Every structure is written in C-alpha cells, then in structure tokens.
Structure 1
Amino acid sequence: NRQVETLPQGSSKLDSVNWLSNIKPPSIFPEYNIVEVRFKNGRKDFFQTSPDLVLEVGDIVAVEASPGHDIGIVSLVGQAVRMQAKAKRVNLGSTDLKKAYRKAKAADIEKWITAVEQEHDTMLKSRQFASRLRLDMKISDVEYQGDRTKGIFYYTADDRVDFRELIRVFAEAFGVRVEMRQIGMRQEASRVGGIGTCGRQLCCSTWFTSFRTVSTNAARNQQLSLNPQKLAGQCSKLKCCINFENDCYVDYAKHLPENAQVLYTKTGKAILQKTEVLRGIMVYSYTDNGPQFVAVPIERVKEILELNKKNIYPNDLDSQAESSSNNDEEQNLSKSSADALLEDSLTRFDNNKKKKKKKKPNRPNHGA
C-alpha cells in the first residue's frame, strides 16, 4: 500500500501529474515554497518549506506532525501545487499550514520502514482486542506515524461505538498515542484496493476521490438490470461507475417522445419493448405478429404519434427505405457478430482442410 522506494510517475495510488513540469515560470516569479506530500493509501497534505530546502517529486521528507514528526514522499512541487490546493479547496494562506523540516535521514527511513512492517500485525491484534470487548466495529487499517509515536486506527461501524476502553487497551499494548478514525464502506474499499468486475483496479483506489451518492434511478436511466449482485461493488454499495454516464443518458432521454408505449398502424398495435437511448432507436413488437421486433428511429415514432392523434394509421412502423436500411444494418451486424465469434473460437488456428487421400496407382493386369 505504501511505496517506500522512489517510484516513477503514475506508479503510486492516487498519483498527481505535474502538467506544468515542462513550463518554466517567469524569472520574476518566486519559487513556490509549498509542496504536496503523500502518505499511506493516498492520504495527502500540503506542507510549507524553507527557502534553502529544495525538494523534487519522489524525495522522502520529514514533516511536522502532532506530536513528533512524520515521514512521507513528495508527490507534487511547483506552481501545480497551487492548482491542486484550489481543486481540493484548501486555503494555503492560512497560518495553520504545517512545515516540511528536511529530507529524511537514513535513520529516519529505517525507523519508518520498521513501523510500516508492524502495521499489519497491529491491525490483526487490534481486531482481537475489539472482539474481546464485544464492540460492533471492524478495524480495517492501521497507519503508524513515521517516528512511531502515534497510530491511526481506521474502522467501520454501523452505529456509534464507545471505544474509550479500547483506546486504553491499544495504548498499553502498542505503546503509542492512539487516534480512532471512522471511515465509510467506500473509503475502506479504496484503502484496501482490489480488482473490479471490469477486470481493472478499483477506481476509488487509483484515481477517483469524490464519492457522490449513487441511486437506483441512475441504473434505471441506463436501463440496467436491478440486480444487487451485479450493481454492487466490493464495498457492498452501488458501483460509483454507474454515475459516470448517467448525465449523458439523462440528456439524450430529453429528446425521447412522451407517451410512446403504444403505436397504432394498419398492420396492428405495436408495444414498446426497449429503448436504445444513445442510438436514438425504440424497439417495438406487434401484438398480432408474435415475437417480431422492429427498430424504429425516434423521428419516425414522433411522426406516427402525430398521425395517431389525428386518427390516422400508417401502413407500417417503417417506410420501405427505412426497413431496407434496417435490414442492411442487421445483416452487417450479424456478419460482424459471426466474425467476432470466429475470432474467439478456440479452434480458429486448427487446420480445417481435410487431408486428401492418396490414390493408389493402378496395378498392371498381367493376366491380360
């Protein structure tokens, strides 16, 4: 979870990209004396540096903490820090800004590495202590301060928990100042990490930081199946990615006709079966012709609705030109689907040519 060694850009969790690194500031511009430092699992903070301390991305530094000092890795320097603080709504002009003391010494790094190695065992022991006290809570992560004078215990709980006795037990067992910090299910998943159903790392553990509320209405707008097993992520909440395309679907849905569930034609009564919002197509089926689906563009649906209001019934849902174009599209789609299936076939590399049997030469007839 924490990169002790200096890693290249983009290799750490919630990494920051300095898009101003190739742009030199004007000579009259003073050097920006505030840097962004990252700690465990994407926890970041801004620190003020002294004029004689020159830091670069990847430097391990000792920074001010309460109490003592902490060890972190510089993640962003220069004028990009100002933009980052503005995006996170952090007031860099306040007097409460902590200081970056110096680059970490070898002794500081060794002590920090030792503390990091003890965090997992501390988490397991802390869970045992919480279970003995019968507290309805889960210790999901532990983070030691760089000088190992303080420990932050992250936990999740459904209700309010009285952990005063637990803090005393932790202080005696681990010999550190204890801070309990409650986090939500989504924050826990972002700290633990994992692989999503899409096959990629979780968005919340790589780049996603703002946890917006996800409702089932977003799934309905995208016509997703309301199956909790498919819609829920590793945090047991609705997946955050459901919101990613919701605004697009809402904008496209504004162009859909209203009261278009039923259309009347001379062929028969047509019932709406499916709406492909992004393609602008509504799929209907006739009640008298069995399970035969017809894809109708939105403009054609609006035209038929206007005719039905005047008690006029068109011959069919589609005109001849539209039906022929739809047939061509269906043929192309079926051809591409067949090609895709052929590409995914396990026997696509096998030699399908039948071996020709060698004909035996005719033996001469000696009796003739």
Structure 2
Amino acid sequence: MKTVRINLGETEYQDQHYDPRGVTLQPGDQVVVETKWGQGLGRVFSTFPLFPDQKITEPLPAVIRIATARDRANEERIRRLETDGRAFCSRKITEFGLPMKLVDVKASFDRSRVTFYFYADDRIDFRELVKDLAQHLHTRIEMRQIRARDVGSKLGCVGPCGRELCCKTFLKEYEPISVRMAKDQNLPLNPSKLAGMCGRLKCCLRYEHSMYEEVKRRLPKIGSPAEAPEGIGIVKTRNLLAETVVIELEDGAQITVKAADLIHVGPPLDEDGPRGGCGGGGCPSGGRGVGPEADPTHS
C-alpha cells in the first residue's frame, strides 16, 4: 500500500499519513483531504510505500482530489476571513480586558467554522467574546485554549540551535522534561539557556537523556573511593561524554582517568564516614576493605 504525508499547517495535522485513493501525487502538490472537521487543504510532504512490517490499525483519512483553481481561490477567501477574525478578536480581547493571548486563527475549508487558539494561565470566561465574534464573522466560533508548548508549534520560529522548532516540524507529543535532565548532562543551570521559545524547558533535553542515564550507571558515583594505576583516591567529578572521572589522590593531586582503566571502585563514603581516599576503607589496598560484596579479590 502506498501512502502520502500531508501537512495542513495545523499542529494536530502535521505530516499525517493519508490514503491517496489512486490519485497520483508528487511532493509539493496541493490537495483537498478529509479531516475530522470536514475537508481541508494541505500540501504533500512525501510519498512512499509502507514497509512490510508496518501495520495500519485505523483507516487512513483520504485524499479527495488535487486542488483546483476554485479550491485555491477559496483558500484566499479563507485567509481573508482569518485575517479579519484575528484583528477583530484582538480588539475585543483588549476591550474586554481578558487575560489571554491570541495565538492563531484557523477557518475550516468550507468556512462554516473559525477556531481561535489562545494561551492563558487560567480559565477564561469568553462568552461575550464568542457572541461578538459570531455576529461579526457570521459563522460558528470555537475557542481552543492551548498549552505554552503549543504556542511555539503554532507560531513557528527558529530555535537557538539554528533549526526550526522541533514542535513545529516533527514532535507530535510532549513528554515530561525536568531540570534533573540538565543536571545529568552537566549543563549550566541557567534558566535563559535551558528554556525554549515557549518559556518552558527545551524538549531536546530529553533526546539524549537515556544515553546519559546509561553512562551514569557505568561510572562510579562522586565521592566513591577508587583505585587507578596512578594511585588511590576519591572520585570528585565525572565527564559522562568522555566516560572519564577526576580522582583526588591521597597527596592532594588530581588525575583524570578513563572509567574502564579503574582497578577498583568502592561505594560512596558517608558524610560522617572516614576520609582520605581508599585508605579510609573503600578499596582493598587501603587496609580496611568494605567486605566481600565490594571486594572482588575476596575469597
């Protein structure tokens, strides 16, 4: 089976699969398709057959036809309707003093419905606003409150990495992001650097987090007594990308060692426990081992 990916320009419809229904399509073609709100106008992103192991669990929405001159003329009328609705709604929001930010306006292909996307911290009583919008636009009005992360996907812009925002191009769902992910990656905890264009933590903090977690499990914890070829001491810092640790030796010198080159690692010392490197009781060569569980040389 061959499918096409079509972008309708709305967050919930970005790059979805459609059934071409025998219509020959090329990337860039403008088409009329089925949506849950009726018909919609979109542009073909790519065409390709499904792989043998790919299964479709639900019927795909269909491509109705390649856009005609009448469809394109209708699109121009839709854009004018959206522009008029945006300007009128912005004026009314100011007039009513509503604590909300208008983000986007989308009209359905048949112009029977206009959806206003807005961001607000709390619930908004917009009944009077909807009444005035319906009287002005002579169509059904839908108000949809979106999250802060959805604002960027609606507006679209370039992130600090120089690429278009992930939420605008390919992200469909937002997984939880925490400051712990930045800490695990040894990133400076600077709010302005960690926040995306939406003001929330960057979604990309999660992309490599599983790899960092895996490396963390392989490296000794900070504060652990460790024995290296150069001597014994305490792990002070870790470089997860290089998989190295900095060890402070008993004489106060610090060395950088690859984790794979460590001879022995003990459990982290308690805050009130003995100090002084492996000699404090963490490594077998320190004179006071930590027991059979931690000493692989014990027999």
TM-score, structure 1 normalization: 0.62
| Greater strand proportion | 2
- 1:280 CA drift (Å): 2.1
- Partner residue of 2:8? 39
Task: List aligned pairs for 1:27-176, cutoff 5 A.
Answer: 36-41=5-10, 43-44=13-14, 53-64=23-34, 69-77=39-47, 79-80=49-50, 86=56, 91-92=58-59, 100-176=63-139
Contact 1:115–1:148 (8 Å) recurs in 2: yes
Task: List aligned pairs for 1:1-368, cutoff 5 A.
Answer: 36-41=5-10, 43-44=13-14, 53-64=23-34, 69-77=39-47, 79-80=49-50, 86=56, 91-92=58-59, 100-258=63-221, 260-261=223-224, 272-285=235-248, 289=252, 293-299=254-260, 301-303=262-264, 305=266, 308-309=281-282, 312-313=285-286
Give secondary structure in 1 for the equivalent of 2:218.
coil
Residues 76-100 of structure 1: per-residue CA shift (max 9 Å, x gap): 55633998884xxx611xxxx7654
Residues 108-160 of structure 1: per-residue CA shift (max 9 Å, x gap): 21120232255345324312212322322221011122333321211122222
Contact 1:271–1:284 (8 Å) recurs in 2: yes
Give secondary structure in 1 for the equivalent of 2:135.
helix
Give secondary structure in 2 for the equivalent of 1:125.
helix
TM-score, structure 2 normalization: 0.74
Give secondary structure in 2 for the equivalent of 1:237.
coil
Residues 311-363 of structure 1: per-residue CA shift (max 9 Å, x gap): 7459xxxxxxxxxxxxxxxxxxxxxxxxxxxxxxxxxxxxxxxxxxxxxxxxx
Inter-partner Cα distance in structure 1 for 2:39 and 2:283 = 80
The residue type paired with residue 114 of structure 1 is R
The verdict on how the C-alpha distance between 1:65 and 1:206 changes in structure 2, with shifts beyond 3 A counting, is closer
- 1:252 CA drift (Å): 0.9
Contact 1:262–1:271 (8 Å) recurs in 2: yes
Residues 194-224 of structure 1: per-residue CA shift (max 9 Å, x gap): 2222222222222333311101121121122
Larger Rg: 1
Percent identity over the alignment is: 29
Extract unaligned runs of 5+ from structure 2: 267-277, 288-299
The residue type paired with residue 255 of structure 1 is R
The verdict on how the C-alpha distance between 1:50 and 1:118 changes in structure 2, with shifts beyond 3 A counting, is same
The verdict on how the C-alpha distance between 1:81 and 1:148 changes in structure 2, with shifts beyond 3 A counting, is farther
- 1:171 CA drift (Å): 1.2
The residue type paired with residue 245 of structure 2 is M
The residue type paired with residue 58 of structure 2 is N
Contact 2:222–2:235 (8 Å) recurs in 1: no
Give secondary structure in 1 for the equivalent of 2:174.
coil
Give secondary structure in 2 for the equivalent of 1:109.
helix
Give secondary structure in 1 for the equivalent of 2:125.
coil
- Partner residue of 1:342? none
Contact 1:171–1:177 (8 Å) recurs in 2: yes
Contact 2:238–2:245 (8 Å) recurs in 1: yes
Inter-partner Cα distance in structure 1 for 2:48 and 2:193 = 43
Contact 2:113–2:140 (8 Å) recurs in 1: yes
Contact 2:29–2:44 (8 Å) recurs in 1: yes
